[in-house]
Amino acid sequence: MAADRVDLPPVRLLPEDELARLALAAPLLARAARLARWAAPHVPVDAMGELTEADLRRGAAELGLDEEPDGLAETSQAWGVAVDAGLVELDIDEQEDADDLDAPAGRAAPGEALVQLDGGQPQAVLEVWLSAVETAVAEAAAPDLEGLLDDLAHDGGADPDAMGYDPEEEAEFLDGALGNLYLFTALEENESGAVPLPVLAASMVVPDEMEDPTDAVLEEVTEVMMRLDEHFRLLASTGVIDYEPVDEALIQEAEESEAEAEAAGGPIGSAELDPEEVSRYGLVRLTPLGVYGVRARMLDAGMHAPVSGDLAGGPAGVLLEALFRYPDRAARSEADQWLSHRKPADAARELLQAARGDDRDAPGRRLVAQQTLSLLGGEAEAAIREVLDDRELGGLARVWLTEQGVADVPAPDEAMVFWLTVDTLAAQLDTDDDAELLQELVSDLVARHVGFFATAWRVDHPATADVLEAMGRLHPDKAVAKEARKAAFKARSRMGG
Q: Are residues 48 and 132 located together in one domain of the fold?
A: yes
Question: Pick the residue with more confidence: 156 or 408?
Answer: 408
Q: Are residues 291 and 327 located together in one domain of the fold?
A: no
Q: For position 433, what pLDDT does the model report?
A: 62
Q: Are residues 247 and 353 located together in one domain of the fold?
A: no
8 in a structural domain: no
Beta strands 106-110 and 241-244 are unpaired
Q: Up-side HSE of residue 223: CA atoms within 13 Å toward CB?
A: 9
Distance, CA of 495 to CA of 489 (rounded, Å): 10
245 three-state secondary structure: coil
Q: Taking residues 17-38, what's their average pLDDT?
A: 96
Instruction: Say which range, 131-135, 359-363, 439-443, has the weakest mean pLDDT.
Output: 439-443
pTM of this structure: 0.81
Q: For position 251, what pLDDT does the model report?
A: 63
Instruction: Say which range, 123-132, 198-207, 423-432, 486-495, has the weakest mean pLDDT.
Output: 423-432
155 in a structural domain: no
Residue 281 has pLDDT above 70, yes or no: yes
Residue 283's DSSP bridge partners are: 196, 244
Q: Are residues 405 and 446 located together in one domain of the fold?
A: no
Q: For position 141, what pLDDT does the model report?
A: 82
Question: Pick the residue with more confidence: 259 or 357?
Answer: 357
Q: Taking residues 305-321, what's their average pLDDT?
A: 94
Tell me which residue of 83, 138, 72 sits closest to 92, measured CA to CA: 83
Residue 496 has pLDDT above 90, yes or no: no
Angle between helices 258-269 and 215-235 (to 10 degrees): 80
101 in a structural domain: yes
Residue 122 has pLDDT above 50, yes or no: yes
Q: Are residues 244 and 323 located together in one domain of the fold?
A: no
Q: For position 446, what pLDDT does the model report?
A: 85
355 in a structural domain: yes
Q: For position 474, what pLDDT does the model report?
A: 87
Q: For position 311, what pLDDT does the model report?
A: 94
Per-residue confidence band for 208, with pLDDT thresholds at 50, 70 and 90? confident
Q: Are residues 441 and 483 located together in one domain of the fold?
A: yes
Q: Which run of H or of E encompasses 92?
A: strand 88-92
Question: Pick the residue with more confidence: 207 or 239?
Answer: 239
- Mean confidence (pLDDT) of the chain: 86
Q: Are residues 339 and 426 located together in one domain of the fold?
A: no
Residue 364 has pLDDT above 70, yes or no: yes
Q: Are residues 39 and 122 located together in one domain of the fold?
A: yes
147 in a structural domain: no
Looking at 298, 333, 362, the residue that finishes a domain is 298
Could you tell me if 184 and 327 are in contact, meaning their C-beta atoms sit under 8 angstroms apart?
A: no
Q: Taking residues 288-300, what's their average pLDDT?
A: 95
Q: How many domains does the chain have?
A: 4
228 in a structural domain: yes
Residue 187 has pLDDT above 70, yes or no: yes
Residue 159 has pLDDT above 60, yes or no: no
Residue 21 has pLDDT above 70, yes or no: yes
Q: Which run of H or of E encompasses 441?
A: helix 435-448
Q: Are residues 172 and 291 located together in one domain of the fold?
A: yes
Could you tell me if 267 and 260 are in contact, meaning their C-beta atoms sit under 8 angstroms apart?
A: no
Residue 180 has pLDDT above 90, yes or no: yes
46 three-state secondary structure: coil
Looking at 395, 412, 429, the residue that finishes a domain is 412
Q: Are residues 276 and 376 located together in one domain of the fold?
A: no
Burial of 338 (0-12, 13-18, 19+ CB in 10 A): buried
Q: Taking residues 104-109, what's their average pLDDT?
A: 89
150 in a structural domain: no
Q: Are residues 87 and 121 located together in one domain of the fold?
A: yes
The residue segments making up the domain with residue 128 are 16-142
95 three-state secondary structure: coil
Q: Taking residues 428-450, what's their average pLDDT?
A: 80
Q: Taking residues 113-139, what's their average pLDDT?
A: 93
DSSP E strands: which ranges in 190-275?
195-196, 241-244
Residue 394 has pLDDT above 90, yes or no: yes
Cis peptide before 143 (omega within 30 of 0): no
Give all strands of the β-sheet with 241-244 in edge-to-edge order. 195-196, 283-286, 241-244
Looking at 370, 396, 412, the residue that finishes a domain is 412
172 in a structural domain: yes
Q: Up-side HSE of residue 230: CA atoms within 13 Å toward CB?
A: 16
Q: Taking residues 446-464, what's their average pLDDT?
A: 90
Q: Are residues 207 and 231 located together in one domain of the fold?
A: yes
Q: Taking residues 67-78, what's their average pLDDT?
A: 92
Distance, CA of 184 to CA of 199 (rounded, Å): 10
Q: For position 435, what pLDDT does the model report?
A: 72
Q: For position 367, what pLDDT does the model report?
A: 95
Question: Pick the residue with more confidence: 450 or 19?
Answer: 19
Per-residue confidence band for 375, with pLDDT thresholds at 50, 70 and 90? very high
What whole-number percentage of the chain has pLDDT above 90?
Answer: 62
